[in-house]
């Protein structure tokens, strides 16, 4: 016998909606989408930063997260050896603060911890080579753990927020265009909001 709406609602609160969202989330086949939706259902905001190449998207995110403006070596490493003016971020990325003193980079190809900045830069250089050679086509965000020493100690995190760094839409490197287009088509419809920089 079908349950009456008011009975279900009165006894179950909004649990039915949460169950529906869980089932929907579990049904998503693409793991990177599933992860973003589960963050949303946990109340975590997911914001994507989208815009042209070399306009300061990565810099904006680092500053929003509270990375110190004078952490120049980190910024250089994140460019993966790319000269100023050339497109730098080659795939979607998420940055997090961690308590240790070293860097960690997690990609679908491996989880690299205890990194110094020179090694981090080399991993990113290799990743770019793989994207350009079309031997890397994974769309999950790569994840950076950044040590607390590069953060301004006065910045307070008020609410969980995941900021997704995307490569520039008009990258200067034609060999990465197809990968970038796939990333944008994949992520822009699924996030809570988009910052256009």
* Chain positions contacting Mg ion, by CB under 5 A: 57-58, 88-89
Phi, psi of 172 (to 5 degrees): -75, -5
Task: Give the one entry of Mg ion, ligand GTP, none that residue 35 binds, where binding means its C-beta sits below a cut-off of 5 to 8 angstroms depending on kind.
Answer: none
Does 168 bind ligand GTP (CB under 6 A)? Our answer is: yes
DSSP-assigned letters across all residues of 68-114:
-TT-HHHHHHHTTTPPTTS----S-EEEEEESSSSEEEEETTEEEEE
For residue 170, the Cα-to-chain-centroid distance in whole angstroms is: 19
Contact segment (CB under 6 A) with ligand GTP among 2-10, 37-45, 85-93, 94-102 equals: 85-93
Name the residue nearer to ligand GTP (CB basis): 57 or 123. 57
Shortest distance, position 59 Cβ to ligand GTP, whole Å: 3
Q: Which of 37, 171 has the CB closer to ligand GTP?
A: 171
141 near ligand GTP (CB under 6 A): no
Query: Cβ atoms within 10 A of the Cβ of 155, count?
Result: 14
Q: Is residue 55 within the footprint of ligand GTP (CB under 6 A)?
A: yes
Contact 101, 149 (CB under 8 A): yes
Q: Where are the alpha helices (DSSP H) in the chain?
A: 5-12, 15-27, 31-41, 57-65, 72-78, 117-132, 177-187
Q: Which of 4, 29, 84, 159 binds ligand GTP (CB under 6 A)?
A: 84
Q: Exposed (0-12), middle (13-18) or buried (19+): which is 61, by Cβ within 10 Å?
A: buried
Stretch that binds ligand GTP, among 49-57, 91-99, 123-131, 141-149 (CB under 6 A): 49-57
Does 58 contact ligand GTP by CB under 6 A?
Answer: yes
Residue placing its CB nearer to ligand GTP in the complex, 13 or 56: 56
- Token pair 């070293």 is found at 102
91 binds ligand GTP (CB under 6 A): no
Interaction site with ligand GTP (CB under 6 A)? 53-59, 84, 87-89, 167-168
């Amino acid at each position: 016998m079908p349950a009456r709406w008011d009975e279900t609602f009165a006894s179950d609160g909004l649990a039915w909606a949460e169950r529906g969202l869980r089932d929907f989330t579990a049904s998503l086949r693409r793991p990177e989408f599933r992860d973003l939706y589960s963050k949303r259902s946990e109340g975590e905001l997911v914001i994507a930063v989208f815009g042209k190449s070399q306009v300061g998207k990565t810099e904006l995110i680092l500053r929003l997260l509270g990375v110190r403006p004078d952490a120049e070596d980190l910024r250089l490493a994140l460019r993966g050896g790319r000269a100023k003016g050339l497109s730098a971020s080659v795939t979607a990325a998420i940055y997090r603060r961690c308590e240790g003193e070293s860097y960690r980079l997690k990609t679908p190809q491996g989880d690299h911890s205890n990194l110094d900045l020179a090694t981090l830069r080399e991993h990113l250089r290799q990743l770019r080579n793989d994207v350009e050679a079309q031997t890397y086509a994974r769309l999950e965000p790569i994840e950076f753990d950044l040590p607390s020493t590069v953060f301004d100690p006065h910045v307070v995190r008020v609410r969980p927020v995941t900021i997704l760094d995307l490569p520039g839409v008009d990258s200067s490197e034609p060999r990465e265009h197809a990968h970038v287009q796939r990333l944008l088509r994949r992520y822009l419809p699924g996030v809570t909001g988009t910052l256009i920089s």
